């Protein structure tokens, strides 16, 4: 009896090890597909009411980078330091090893030229604010690294409204336009735009309230000489291992010149308290998204016109 017990115990231990190895070998993509299949089965077998959103994640599709004119242009740009077709992935690499490799060999902020006294800029490819389901989806966001709050929500405050905003105006294309006179949206400073309205910000590390001065207009043309756009990086093994990359490019629109490139990567797939294990708003990133904010990078390349210069110019 004791011998039988030992055999059973050893067999159980061996099965446990095999199960652990299978679990460790499961990729982020495999876990994601398994979760989506389970979700689909649930939504098929349960009476889900039309106003219940719990099955909406099944409607999401992988991003199509070339679906828009802005996306096609972004992916057509030739930069001075393109990523190699071979990402350097080696069979057997763990997600951590592959991510560390990309961070060491490809990620970074690359500034080729800076410009002084820039009044405003053109956001060539505005981002849409992601839903929670999109942030849980492994494939539906083209560039999760760059899809940060400061780039998809209230960008007029980020770039124009003092004290964070340093530019006199920000322009972007309208998503839909029925008239040639209504092709772009321009946010600009106007001291009289919102009488009495206050905006909470920080100056010298102290929280303060300042007048809110951002106005907007629909215009037929842009006046920006400089702009920026973005695109996702898609190569074999990236999403499979829960890794996504993206590039942000700053351009001189008049000279058709690349002034700077920021290339970043992030990793997900190990979140335990949601359906898919994916949550793009958190996880390791390089350069660190928490400190290397997009608007600060833009300001480093396109140095804003100092306020006192603008005031003197207006006075003349």
Determine, yes or no, domain membership for 295.
yes
Q: Model's pTM, two decimal places?
A: 0.86
In a domain, 215, yes or no: no
Q: Considering the domain boundaries, does residue 71 fall inside one? A: yes
Tell me, what's the pLDDT at 149?
Answer: 60
Tokens of 300: 């480093």
- pLDDT at position 168 is 98
For the CA atoms of 216, 220, 225, 227, the dihedral, rounded to the nearest 10 degrees, stands at: 60
Strands (E), the chain: 108-111, 115-118, 120-123, 169-173, 184-189, 198-203, 206-211, 214-219, 226-233, 243-252, 257-267, 285-286, 302-304
User: Where do the DSSP E strands lie in 137-197?
Assistant: 169-173, 184-189
What is the pLDDT, as a whole number, of residue 178? 65
pLDDT average, residue stretch 209-235: 96
- pLDDT band for position 308 (cuts 50, 70, 90): low
| High-pLDDT (> 90) share of the chain, % | 73
Instruction: Note whether 308 and 294 are within 8 A (CB).
Output: no
Residue 189 lies in a domain: no
> What is the residue range of 88's domain?
20-180+222-315
> For residue 143, what pLDDT is reported?
96
Question: Number of folded domains in the chain?
Answer: 1
Please check whether residue 5 lies inside any domain of the structure: no
Q: Is the pLDDT of residue 228 over 70?
A: yes
Q: Taking a C-beta distance cutoff of 8 angstroms, is the pair 201, 168 a contact?
A: no
The model's confidence at residue 297, banded by pLDDT at 50, 70 and 90, is very high
d(CA 74, CA 258): 12
Residue 311 φ/ψ, nearest 5 degrees = -65, -40
> Does any domain span residue 158?
yes
* Residue 303 pLDDT: 98
Sorted by sequence, the CB contacts under 8 Å of residue 257 that are 6+ apart come out as: 113, 251
What is the mean predicted confidence (pLDDT) over 13-30?
56
Q: Given a cut of 70, is residue 69 above it in pLDDT?
A: yes
The Cα 272–Cα 90 span in angstroms is: 27
What pLDDT is stored for residue 63 in this prediction?
A: 94
Above 90 in pLDDT, residue 152?
Answer: no
3-state SS assignment for residue 200: strand
Assess whether pLDDT exceeds 60 at residue 159: yes
Q: Is residue 63 part of a domain?
A: yes
Q: Is the pLDDT of residue 311 over 60?
A: no
CB 248 within 8 A of CB 295: no
Compute the average pLDDT of residues 304-310.
71
Least confident of 9-23, 88-102, 184-198: 9-23
Per-residue CA distances from 172 to 127, 147, 156, 255 (Å): 11, 17, 10, 19
Mean predicted confidence (pLDDT) in 161-175? 94
Range of weakest confidence among 49-58, 115-124, 158-167: 49-58
* CB distance 98 to 241 below 8 Å: yes
Mean pLDDT of 79-102: 95
The mean pLDDT value of the chain amounts to 88
- The answer to the question of residue 217 being in a domain is no
User: Which of 147-151, 200-204, 311-315 has the largest mean confidence?
Assistant: 200-204
């Amino acid at each position: 009896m004791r011998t039988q017990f030992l055999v059973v115990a050893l067999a159980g231990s061996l099965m446990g090890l095999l199960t652990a190895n299978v679990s460790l070998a499961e990729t982020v993509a495999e876990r994601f597909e398994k979760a989506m299949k389970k979700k689909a089965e649930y939504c098929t077998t349960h009476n889900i009411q039309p106003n219940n959103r719990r099955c909406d994640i099944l409607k999401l599709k992988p991003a199509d980078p070339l679906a828009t004119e802005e996306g096609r242009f972004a992916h057509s740009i030739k930069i001075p330091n393109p990523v190699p077709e071979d990402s350097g992935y080696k069979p057997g690499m763990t997600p951590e090893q592959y991510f560390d490799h990309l961070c060491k060999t490809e990620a970074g902020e690359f500034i080729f030229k800076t410009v002084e006294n820039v009044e405003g800029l053109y956001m060539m490819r505005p981002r849409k604010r992601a839903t929670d389901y999109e942030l849980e989806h492994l494939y539906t966001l083209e560039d999760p690294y760059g899809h940060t709050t400061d780039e998809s929500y209230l960008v007029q405050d980020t770039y124009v409204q003092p004290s964070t905003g340093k530019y006199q105006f920000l322009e972007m294309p309208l998503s839909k336009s029925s008239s040639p006179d209504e092709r772009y949206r321009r946010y600009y400073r106007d001291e009289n735009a919102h009488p009495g309205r206050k905006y909470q910000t920080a100056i010298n590390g102290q929280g303060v309230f300042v007048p809110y001065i951002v106005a907007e207009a629909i215009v037929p043309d842009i006046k920006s000489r400089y702009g920026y756009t973005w695109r996702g990086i898609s190569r074999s093994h990236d999403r499979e291992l829960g890794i996504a990359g993206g590039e942000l490019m700053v351009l001189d629109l008049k000279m058709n010149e690349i002034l700077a490139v920021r290339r970043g990567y992030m990793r997900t797939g190990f979140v335990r308290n949601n359906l898919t294990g994916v949550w793009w708003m958190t996880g390791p990133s390089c350069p660190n998204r928490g400190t290397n904010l997009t608007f600060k990078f833009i300001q480093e390349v396109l140095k804003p016109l100092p306020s006192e210069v603008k005031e003197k110019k207006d006075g003349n």
